[in-house]
Structure 1
Amino acid sequence: MLKNISPLLNADVLHALRAMGHGDDLIIADTNFPSDSIARQTRLGKLLRIDNVTAAEAVTAVLSLYPLDTFVDDSAARMEIVDKPNEIPPVQQEVQKAIDKAEGKSWPMMPVERYAFYERAKQAYCVIQTGERRFYGCFAFRKGVVPPDAE
């Protein structure tokens, strides 16, 4: 155990979060997402897992360490519901609350069509599969920067 680091963040996840650079994408996916096959196409090339937790719990843990990119509008994105792009199911509402809390302000997620989301995921640095069983618990987060300490 480490102080002030969520125990949900295992060594493989911590290594990936640290290795990522500004502009790299991270995918947090539900149990139905084709995580393994897509993860093999990412920069990391293997699937990471945070098992037995909801998407919101995983996002809360990740965003406790991971800065979102402030230079783009889509640094937080969600997979759209097929044929209902404006509907936001409870799983996505919970993740939105986790994002807003982590950022200390409203930080809206951009919707991404299902197949476009798959393509974005293939270009990501890595995929983390969660234990989320609700549909459309799939999210993309673009890494920002950690500014230098003020002098």
Structure 2
Amino acid sequence: MLKGIPSVLSPELLKVLCEMGHSDRIVIADGNFPVESMGKNAKVVRLDGHGVPEILDAILQVFPLDTYVEHPVNLMEVMPGDPVETPIWDEYKEIISRHDDRGSAAVGNIERFAFYDEAKTAYAIVATGEMAVYANVMLQKGVVKD
């Protein structure tokens, strides 16, 4: 155990976060996301017993968001005609606002199949037990500054 590090950040996930460089992306995937098939070229980290908000908050305590792009955080858009509500997105925006001065302006949306394509090129994908639908979030790493 370490002081000041959220306990949900496993040694494996901490290692992955440390390995990532500027502009590398990590996906925090909901329980329905095809993690293993999307992550064939990525490092897959399993945190099945946790939800996305808890993991997002923990990661953002140690992970800077990219300041050189408009949307370093991207959500998977709801498919047109899919009668789904996404209240979890408001929770994400609140978490992001606590860790990045841009707040919800740092958050963009990517069409579902384009999100899958982007996820296939991510450095890592975190599998969670999140039950909310369309709860996937992609983060782009920035530069660590003093």
- Give the structure-2-normalised TM-score: 0.92
- 1:37 is displaced (CA, Å) by 1.1
Secondary structure of 2:23's aligned partner: coil
Structure 2: how far apart are the matches of 1:54 and 1:9?
12
For residues 69 and 139 of structure 2, the distance between their equivalents in structure 1, rounded to whole angstroms, comes to: 11
**Which residue does the alignment assign to 2:119?**
121
SS of 1:18's equivalent in the other structure is helix
One-letter code aligned to 2:115: F
Describe the shift of the 1:84–1:2 C-alpha distance in structure 2 as closer, same or farther (beyond 3 A).
farther
Q: CA deviation at 1:102?
A: 1.4
Cα offset for 1:40? 1.4
Amino acid at match of 1:100: S
Q: Does the Cα contact within 8 Å between 1:92 and 1:137 map onto a contact in 2? A: yes
Q: Per-residue CA shift, 1:104-144, capped at 9, x if unaligned? A: 45243101000000000001100001111110110110000
Q: Who is 2:93 aligned against?
A: 96
1:1-151 map, 5 Å: 1-42=1-42, 44=43, 47-83=44-80, 89-108=86-105, 109-147=107-145, 149=146
User: What SS does the corresponding residue of 1:78 show, helix, strand or coil?
Assistant: strand
Q: Which runs of 5+ in 1 are unaligned?
A: none
Following TM superposition, by how much is the alpha carbon of 1:73 offset from its aligned partner in structure 2, in angstroms? 1.1
State how far apart, in whole Å, the 2-side matches of 1:61 and 1:104 are. 17
Q: Distance in 2 between matches of 1:12 and 1:5?
A: 13
The whole-number CA distance in structure 1 between the counterparts of 2:73 and 2:50 is 20
Structure 2, unpaired ranges of 5+ = none
Q: Does the CA contact (< 8 Å) of 2:75 and 2:108 recur in 1?
A: yes
CA distance in 2, matches of 1:67, 1:124: 16
Name the SS for the 2:28 alignment partner. strand
CA deviations 1:6-57 (Å, max 9, x no partner) are 0000011000000000000010000000011111122x3xx20223222111
Identity of aligned residues (%): 35
Distance in 2 (alpha carbons) for counterparts of 1:49 and 1:84: 31
How many corresponding residue pairs? 144
